[in-house]
A and B are shown apart, each in its own frame.
Chain A
Amino acid sequence: MTTKVGVVVFPGSNCEHDVVEALQGLGADAELLWHGDATVGDVDAIVLPGGFAHGDYLRPGAIARFSPIMVSITDFAAAGGPVVGICNGFQVLTEAGLLPGALQKNSGSRFLCAPADLIVASAQSALTCATNVGDVVRLPINHFEGNYTCSAETLQELRAEDRIVLRYVSNPNGSIDDIAGVCSAGRNVVGLMPHPERACDPLLGSDDGRRLLGSLLATAGSRLPA
Chain B
Amino acid sequence: MRFPVLVEVRLRPGIADPQGATIQRALPALGFDGVQEVRVGKAIRFTVEAPDASAAGRQVDELCQRLLANPVIEDTTVSLGEPV
Number of interface residues of B (CB under 8 A): 13
B79 touches A (CB below 8 Å): no
Which residues on the B side are within 8 Å of A101 (C-beta)?
Answer: 72
Please count the residue pairs between chain A and chain B whose beta carbons lie under 8 angstroms apart in the complex.
35
Which residues on the A side are within 8 Å of B68 (C-beta)?
Answer: 58
Secondary structure of the A side of the interface?
A: loop
A62 touches B (CB below 8 Å): yes
Q: Judge whether B16 and A147 touch: CB under 8 Å.
A: yes
Q: Judge whether A102 and B21 touch: CB under 8 Å.
A: no
Which residues on the A side are within 8 Å of B73 (C-beta)?
Answer: 102, 104, 149
B29 touches A (CB below 8 Å): no
Q: Which of A66, A109, A174 contacts B22 (CB 8 A)?
A: A109
Which residues on the A side are within 8 Å of B15 (C-beta)?
Answer: 104, 149
Q: Judge whether A105 and B72 touch: CB under 8 Å.
A: no
A67 touches B (CB below 8 Å): no
Q: Judge whether A105 and B16 touch: CB under 8 Å.
A: yes
Q: Judge whether B18 and A58 touch: CB under 8 Å.
A: no
B17 touches A (CB below 8 Å): yes
CB distance from B65 to the nearest CB of A (A): 12
**Complex CA distance for A151 and B17, rounded to whole angstroms:** 18
CB distance from B68 to the nearest CB of A (A): 7
**Complex CA distance for A58 and B72, rounded to whole angstroms:** 15
**Complex CA distance for A46 and B66, rounded to whole angstroms:** 24
Q: Judge whether A107 and B16 touch: CB under 8 Å.
A: yes
Of A58, A101, A147, the most chain B CB neighbours within 10 A belong to A58
Instruction: State the A residues within 8 Å of B (CB).
Output: 58-59, 62, 66, 94-95, 101-102, 104-109, 147, 149-151, 174
**What would be 10 A-B contacts, judged by CB atoms less than 8 Å apart?**
A62-B70, A102-B70, A102-B73, A105-B17, A105-B19, A106-B16, A107-B16, A107-B18, A151-B72, A174-B16
What are the 9 tightest A-B residue pairs by CB atom distance, in nearest-first order? A109-B18, A102-B72, A102-B73, A105-B18, A107-B16, A105-B16, A104-B16, A104-B73, A102-B70
